Amino acid sequence: MRWVGAIILIAASYTCGSVLANIQSDELKTVDSVIRFLTYMRRRMYSERAELFEVFQSFKDEHLENLGFLSALCSCRNDFSQNWGMALDLLSMDQESKNELVILGESLGKLNLNEQLKRLDVCINALESSKQKIEKAIPIKQKTTKTIWLLSGTLIAIILL
Amino acid sequence: MHNTIEMLFRYLPLRISLAVHNLPKEIFDKINEIRLRLNAPTSVTVGNENIVFDSQGNPCEITSSICATKDEIQECIAKLTHNSLYTCDEYITRGFIPIPEGGRAGVCGKSDGKNFMEIYSINLRLHRFLPLVAEDLVKVFSDKGVGGVLICSPPAMGKTTFLRSISYLLSMGKGMAPLRIGIADTRWEITAGMNLNGIADVILGMDKAASINILTRTMSPQIIICDEISGDEVDAVLEAQNTGVKLIASVHCNHPKELKNRGRLAKLLECGIFDYCVMLKYENEYKTEILPIGDIV
């Protein structure tokens, strides 16, 4: 019975570690979705001169929808800078990427097409490099998290035995 | 009329729209333009008079008038462009932003030689639709036959209002049989905010010479209507005349005689493009005078 209990404890610790490791990959998912969003925005601006509100409304992404990012952007038609700030608060990202998005938000819709596209490109590039960093770091972080939880569970099981 | 001004309020910063709203009724009812200037007096135009006012809407001296701040200018631009300035690049380069409901806001400011990097002044023009303003011209057409018409007046005397009216009356067949109208509406002003349900074909946003060429070749109108004609359109107009199309156009001038000294425009008078001249005046009220062009040139 003791052994069964110990195995359950170890399995539970491992599961917890896996869940936490997956949460860490959410950041990658968020950055990836935001990059897709900005790329979509760039394409609609460049090819159709689509208005921001229309761009925000027509973009579909399950992850950003679940976070409430897209509905925050569309919440008020008159004050996009306020919407942008509210939407950014809902994203879990590193501060560097968020800062890039804040800078983009300050000029969004206030520049001519060339300048607007340049700003978008700068932001997309910054997020791409941030994504690469996260992609490199995540497997190590995930492994470490899982290992720590597994070892902790095992240690507790040994002590209890 | 109030509806038109109130339509413009949605593009103004609150502080300025309140001040305009509080202007004395006799001014408010006759406003043609609302002009915002960065850190300089905001004014309204009534006829050919410029009126400055304070934040309470009281007419005042220039030194104590309400001035638009940078944030207020930006707010107005953001509202005019639906927070999407990049959608209006091609218009801003030409000095205006089309108003979504029709009409335009003139803009100017610091330029890099091509684009405006910063906007310092915004001129929101009211576009009135007074359908019967050009009724007298329709009577002349009905009695003496359709001819080319030159509409002359200094700026802000109602040339575009007159063109809007004549477009409506002729295309709807009010006062005479309907005519096929081609409208070259370069700055989105002639057809602004009105539903031309008559037999009119409109080219929006293209330069006038190209519009006149296209309308003549592809839409075979009986009359082409365009605003603020210049020397650049002379060739297109002469070509249109060869196909029998009549032209109704406006021009900035105090008297058609002035056109004789305006190079290429004088050619239009020499070639007999225009049969009538409509002179618009403002003497406490708008006045229209229609004369055969031979009598005055």
Q: What is the pLDDT of residue B193?
A: 66
CA distance B75 to chain A (A): 10
- The answer, for B6 touching chain A at a CB cutoff of 8 Å, is no
User: What residues of chain B lie within 8 A of the CB of A49, using their CB?
Assistant: 84, 86-87
State the smallest CA–CA distance between residue B196 and chain A in angstroms.
27
Asked if A110 reaches chain B (Cβ–Cβ under 8 Å), the answer is: yes
Q: For A98-131, what is each residue's pLDDT tens digit?
A: 999 999 999 999 999 999 999 999 999 999 999 9
B114 inside 8 A of chain A by CB:
no
Is residue B84 within 8 angstroms of chain A, CB to CB? yes
Cα of B137 vs its chain's centroid, Å: 19
> Is there a contact between A49 and B86 if contact means CB atoms under 8 Å apart?
yes
Q: Give ipTM to 2 decimals.
A: 0.78
Is B94 in CB contact (< 8 Å) with chain A? Answer: no
**pTM given for the model:** 0.76
Q: Does A76 touch chain B (CB under 8 A)?
A: no
Closest A-chain CA to B88: A112
Q: Which of B78, B82, B92 sits opposite A110 (nearest CB)?
A: B78
Are A52 and B82 a contacting pair, CB within 8 Å?
yes
- Which residue from B77, B83, B92 is facing A52, i.e. has the nearest CB? B83
Q: How does pLDDT run across A36-57, given as a tens digit for each residue? A: 999 999 999 999 999 999 999 9
State whether residue B243 sits within 8 Å of chain A by CB: no
Q: How far is A102 from chain B (nearest CA, A)?
A: 16
- Rounded to 10 degrees, what is the CA torsion of A8, A12, A18, A21? -150
**DSSP letters of B90-154?**
HHHHTTEEE-TTSSEEEEEEEESSSSEEEEEEEEEE-----TTTTHHHHHHHHHH----EEEEES
Q: Give me the pLDDT at residue A11, please.
A: 86
Predicted local distance difference test score (pLDDT) of residue B1:
42
pLDDT of B102 above 50: yes
